[in-house]
Structure formats: C-alpha cells, structure tokens
Amino acid sequence: MKNDLWVVIPTANRHQYLEEIFENSGVPRDQIVLVRTAPGEDIEGVHNIWDDKEEFNIHRWWNHGLQYAEELFDAKYVAVLNDDVWIEPGSLQAIVKGIEWSGADIGYPEPSSSDICGYAWVLRMSSPIRPDQRFRWWFGDNDLRNQARANNGTVSVSCNIKHLHPNETTVGEFFEATKRDGELFYEKWDTTSRD
C-alpha cells in the first residue's frame, strides 16, 4: 500500500497526541507530513514542512501538506487530521475503502453530522477538490463538502475517530476569522443557512 495513503497533520506545539496518532494510523512514518505552524524542533521519522507565517490559515496548511504529498510522492489518498484526534486502528483504511467503493471525492468518519469532519477527512488526490484558502479557520470543511457535492460526492464511513478538544482554540482572533469565514461561505454558495 506504499504511496497510496498519506497523512497530513498541521501542528503548532500540541504534540502530546502525535505518537499515538502515528501508531494508530497504520501509515508508515515516512508517509506522514507534519505541517509545522510554529517554531520548534523537527519530529523524527516524519516529514516536517514549515508554514509558520504570522497569519494563521488552516486551509493553507492543509493545502501545503496535500501538495507536498502529491507532488513529491504521488500520494493517491491523503488523510488530513487535527493534532488532537484519537484514531482506532484501521479507521483511515476503512475510509479509503469507502471512497474506492463509492467513487466519492472525500471520505470522513461516521457518526457525524451531515458535514465533513474538519478534524479528520480523506481526499482522493485525483479529484479536483482542494481547500479554498480564502477561508482561514472554519467553514472550509463545509466548502469541501459543497465542492464534492458538485463533483463525485462524499462518503461517511463507520469508524472510530474522536476529536479530543473540539473548538478549544476558537477564541480571540480565531473567533473573528470564523465570523468572516461564515460570511464568505454564505456569499460563495449563495445561501443564508449552513446547508
């Protein structure tokens, strides 16, 4: 399965969950890309790429990792994970199988809402779907969902991936960015409601 499934994880200084994520992902360490968003020491055995620009943008971080895995290593699928998730072993592989079976662009864990889980999703790299970097913090997962609906769709797969600290950092400037992202989302998709 070499080169089929890669993992991208944006991370600043919250590294306490990374080793367990690496282990439980079932992906070799040399197929894991950390998009480092704050200065620090390299984490050994994985790809460390740096995007510690002053203006935070999680969608830029996602794209940075996706491009790295695709352009340098011809990744077929990339799982994008938060640095504060817990993964039951086999979950990412189950999502890939769901994508292959359904032909969808993006897969994500179930149970979930009708939205893509921003903390854990898998992209089929042959798809034209990519994160829109005009969004900085939220609504990018909703945007990916809508992009996928206009193409080959999404698939929700029964597996166990937990977000350990949801919305914990959405305060201050992150909250302001979230409000702006919401306005952009509604304008882009010509809607006044989340769905």
CA distances from 63 to 55, 68, 87, 125 (A): 15, 8, 22, 12
Q: How many CB atoms neighbour CB 6 within 10 A?
A: 29
CA distance 144 to 59: 10
What does the pLDDT read at residue 33?
98
Does pTM surpass 0.95?
no
**Domain extents in the chain:** 5-188
Q: Which CATH number fits domain 5-188: 3.40.640.10, 3.90.550.10, 3.40.50.11030, 3.90.950.10?
A: 3.90.550.10
Q: Per-10-residue mean pLDDT for the chain, 195 residues long?
A: 82 92 97 94 95 84 96 95 96 97 94 70 96 86 91 93 75 73 84 54
What is the structure's pLDDT at 53? 76
**For residue 180, what pLDDT is reported?**
84
